[in-house]
Structure 1
Amino acid sequence: MLAAIQFIADTLKGKKEEFSLESVLSEFILDNESLRRMMYVLDKQMNSGLIGGLKDSTVAMLPSFVPRLPDGSESGTYLAIDLGGTNLRVLMMEINPGQESHAESRNFRMPQSAMTGTGEELFDFIATCMANFLEEKGLLDTQMDLGFTFSYPCDQKNLRSAILLRWTKGFNASGVEGNDVVKILQKAIDKKVHLAAVGGKPFYLAYYFLQKLKVRVVALMNDTVGTQVATAHEMGQCALGVILATGTNASYLEDVKRIVKLKGVQYDYDKMIVDTEWGGFGDRGEAEFIKTQYDRIVDARSVHPGVQCFDKMVGGMYMGELVRLVVEKLVKGNILFKGVGSELLFTSGTFPTKYISEILCDEGGHLYQTRQILDELGVDSYGYSDLLVLREVCMTVSRRSANLCAAAIACVLNRISEKKVIVGIDGSTYRFHPFFHSWVKDKVRELVNPSVEASVKKSLSDYHVILVDKVLHQEEVQVLDLDTTLSFPCSFDDYVQYALRDDLALSPQYKRLFHLIPAEFYYHNFASDRSHMRRSDGSWITPPPSWPPIQRGLAENSMPQLINLDAVGETPFGTVVDWNGFLSHFTNRPLG
């Protein structure tokens, strides 16, 4: 990779021998020896954290009081609030054994005033968003139990008590640290009232009164624990849950006897999920050997200097700024843009991490997306070689993040020391970066003990809808698909031969499933709110069509049910079959 970088650098005018693209990016390139050294230091910090928490370690190793993982047999309808780095999500989830979970949710962008104002203002905002969601669903008068996903380090005494140790990821609301966030949220919810009517009288005869919401917070859980639990519900097991979004964190199932700081606490189980809070790794200088000068600048300019150092090297909140700092140095060193930048480019916080994903997804020869980003930043003096260098900077910085994340995962897997393990990873940075999944998976395999067989899982799916029709009075089956260069309609045999690859050409993890839904049912019940076209922050992945979304039939959004491909067999909305089942269904014989 360094040779490729050097080749690009050598094409640039004004390059100085003592200051090159290679020398700048080399700070972000860590060999496996350095990563294994990091794993050793992290493992020691985890051991110390299990003994004395933050008093003895930068990795808090917080007890979650969750004793076991689900196995997929659970069912029910639940209300939940998820407070992440920059978004608040309120959702109602219905889960049934053997079926894909169905969730209705609404995202709210966290205003800066709520993130850095008073704790009362923050939790009032959360309670208001929840009340608005319940009102939309007609559930204001319904008794509801609430689960609270809270992505910040807490000292938990049980599932309904969590003392916030410190804010991270840009939050700094006053009056919350050192207090029980479950009690603060419950107090904010109890303040919310709505107009309720007595009895079933007509509107003009009814008696109205102010009534509190009937919502009770029954459990608080970290988002990493939630990821681990969700993966276990889907896959039947999950050794490690990882979040890579605004920040990064992980949880795993630990033997209670190793959690020394739990001594004297009433707990009747042998296992407990531990929230590592590994984002704080390096806060006392133990990770200086993997830091760059740019990491130190980001830390110094952050809301909490000297805190959450690993977060700042890995998480999405900081990755874009790391790239911007590198680009700024290359411009001022006359390696990029002929030495001419822009006021916006030289301003902190103007290069969001989404730019990295967009640049790395920009694979067309003209790199239009990359050009558009530079135009938005006010950069005028760039050539094609500059676009390639910018892409290489994004690639190198984000790959360093993936390698550090993989090393941390491998460290925990070596601690667990099980032969076959499933790792569940979620988070916007992980999901929307085009290469992160493969980088993490490959590096984990390089670093983990040879006896451990790790399977890194992320949510990966796509779909395409076609109409398969048997022409009246004829035996020929035809396919109607506008998104193909084949004739319209074309024969089923031609479609299979020219538009689909045999499963033998695919990796086992990408085997296709086909959902067979009666056309009349699909037509009358299809509905989409286009939520699948949005990023986690609510912005569009690609611009939506000009016409309004289809809303009718089952709900405002029936896509999760209609494209459910989780199992081969009967589902509520048709039959799911594999490749051979798809072929034999329309030909009465397997063709593949």
Structure 2
Amino acid sequence: MTTMCRSQVCNPTMWPSGSTEGVSPAVVEGGKELVLSDQQLAKYMELFEENINRGLGKETNPTAIVKCFPTYVQHLPDGTEKGKYLALDLGGSNIRVLLVELGTAMNINSKVFTIPLSIMQGQGTLLFDFIADCLIGFVKSNNVEEELPLGFTFSFPLVQKGLKIGILERWTKDFSCPGVIGNDVVTMLQDALERRGHKKICIAAVLNDTTGTLMAAAFKHPRARIGLIVGTGTNGCYWESQQKAELFDEPDSGSGKVIINLEWGAFGDDGALDFIRRSYDEDVDLHSVNPGKQKHEKMISGMYMGELVRLMAEKFTKAGLMFEGRGSVSLFTRGALESSAVSDIERERYGEFTNVKRVCDSLGLTHATREDYCNMRYLCSLISRRAAQMVAAGLSVLMRRVGHKKVAVGIDGTVYKFHPHFHNLMMEKIKDITGDEFDYSLFLVEDGSGIGAALLAAVLARTQQL
């Protein structure tokens, strides 16, 4: 086993994750329901494997929760890719356009455009007109005269019918543009470009951010076979045999493999994870913008970590176990605790309480005691550890499906990047689950959604699939 360890993760001066030093025994007892047992993780893995098999099956996919969409990407980068490529990354409130030149080094020129809320929730044609204007403006400002292949990252659930065909299944995040669900997003972008008389952009492929992360990871590391996002949301993809991907309906280009986009955020939407879901999870789901959907994601990702901790602190305070039973308006207000505060609290140097005091003060809990600070840190560690262990269990399943003794996992996202213990927690739990079965590494891939899109275009050019 190898690990690519970041300095802030391995800093021995931080409080150990899960430390109960100074924590009230009543809080430790109350938090036990958040601690996952080996038996629970084994059941989680069994259910996840079953869900993957259902998603891959042609007959079972229509009712499958984990959709396992074939991406039609049949080749990974091998490091020999060269040339100039465009990338377009749409995944949130920003659009990023990149011009990537591959040679002896990778040169990147990029620009970020902010999408107005009126566009994010307006008619679909307006969204794609806006995207086309950003793309054309970027190309002109960079004096791109030749026709260049474009990789289009569209980080919403797509049913792919080919490299250039992606049918939007549903919107997520803050998008709700009518007229896009059920339609091909590549065609909609091409139509918007044609309305502007622009014909010098060739859309080579559409992909999501998870696939882009795996492409960027494989360019860095020849053993990369799994891509993962753990940020505001979460998703994964992996390298699967085409024979097992029964929805794949294109000729084999020679690899015998295809990247599968899991859409694993929906795992448990049918109640499969109720055995480890708790009242805090139910509360978060009930008051979310999509109740009953993305239940797995709501237990793991950065969008919800802070609220889960706040709900625990609220419950324990009202029970008289924290803050002398005296809360505050902020503590009892939904969304008042940002997930970044969880990372800040867990990053504290051992014996110090600067960050946790600042967070408590910001919540109006200026009467907090040293024990309260320890309690808050412990609640953060419970939510973080549970999330990391669930991801580790899922990765263990994917490693076995990939079937390589040596395997690397490329990971992008703010939780993995900034949480001080997440990497180590995942490494430790994978080791607990798999023993010496794999020689594995987890490493950060930054901007996989942008660079990965350009690399996919480059791979298609190298393998003459353009």
TM-score normalised over the length of structure 2? 0.85
Report the CA distance between 1:138 and its aligned residue.
4.3
Report the CA distance between 1:396 and its aligned residue.
1.3
Shifted more, 122-131 versus 226-235: the winner is: 122-131
Deviations 1:170-205 (A, max 9, x none): 43332221111112222334445xxxxxxxxxxxxx
Deviations 1:518-537 (A, max 9, x none): xxxxxxxxxxxxxxxxx99x
Map residues 72-151 of structure 1 onto 2, 5 A cutoff: 72-97=79-104, 99=105, 101-139=106-144, 143-151=147-155
- Code of the residue aligned with 2:406 in structure 1: it is K
1:178 match: 182
1:9 match: 24
1:444 match: 430
Structure 2 counterpart of 1:395, from 381, 392, 396: 381
Distance 1:120 1:323, change over 3 A: farther
Contact 2:353 2:373 in 1 (8 A): yes
Coordinate RMSD, CA, aligned: 2.6
1:510 match: none
TM-score normalised over the length of structure 1? 0.68
Are residue 356 (structure 1) and residue 365 (structure 2) matched?
Answer: no
Contact 1:59 1:277 in 2 (8 A): yes
2:62 match: 55
SS at match of 2:334: coil
Distance 1:142 1:265, change over 3 A: closer
2:390 match: 404
Quote the sequence identity (%): 38
The structure with higher relative contact order (CA 8 Å, sep 6+) is 2
1:239 match: 225
1:276 match: 262
1:301 match: 287
Are residue 428 (structure 1) and residue 414 (structure 2) matched?
Answer: yes
1:369 match: 355
Cα distance in 1 for partners of 2:53, 2:40 equals 20
Structure 2 counterpart of 1:68, from 58, 75, 84: 75
Structure 2 counterpart of 1:164, from 155, 161, 168: 168
Report the CA distance between 1:228 and its aligned residue.
1.1
SS at match of 1:77: strand
Deviations 1:423-450 (A, max 9, x none): 1111121111111111111211211264
- Code of the residue aligned with 1:271 in structure 2: it is K
Contact 1:45 1:58 in 2 (8 A): yes
Structure 1 counterpart of 2:307, from 303, 308, 321: 321
Contact 1:279 1:310 in 2 (8 A): yes
Contact 1:410 1:448 in 2 (8 A): yes
- Code of the residue aligned with 1:430 in structure 2: it is Y
Distance 1:329 1:120, change over 3 A: farther
Contact 2:216 2:445 in 1 (8 A): no
Map residues 178-257 of structure 1 onto 2, 5 A cutoff: 178-192=182-196, 212=198, 214-257=200-243
2:12 match: none
Cα distance in 2 for partners of 1:329, 1:291 equals 16
Report the CA distance between 1:2 and its aligned residue.
11
Shifted more, 278-287 versus 385-394: the winner is: 385-394
Deviations 1:531-571 (A, max 9, x none): xxxx99xxxxxxxxxxxxxxxxxxxxxxxxxxxxxxxxxxx
Contact 1:68 1:272 in 2 (8 A): yes
Cα distance in 1 for partners of 2:384, 2:178 equals 33
Distance 1:117 1:356, change over 3 A: farther
SS at match of 2:170: coil
Deviations 1:465-492 (A, max 9, x none): xxxxxxxxxxxxxxxxxxxxxxxxxxxx
SS at match of 1:348: coil
SS at match of 1:260: coil
Distance 1:394 1:135, change over 3 A: farther
Distance 1:449 1:374, change over 3 A: closer
Unaligned runs of 5+ in 1: 11-19, 193-210, 461-534, 537-592
Report the CA distance between 1:152 and its aligned residue.
1.8
Deviations 1:293-312 (A, max 9, x none): 11111111112111111111
Cα distance in 2 for partners of 1:405, 1:420 equals 19
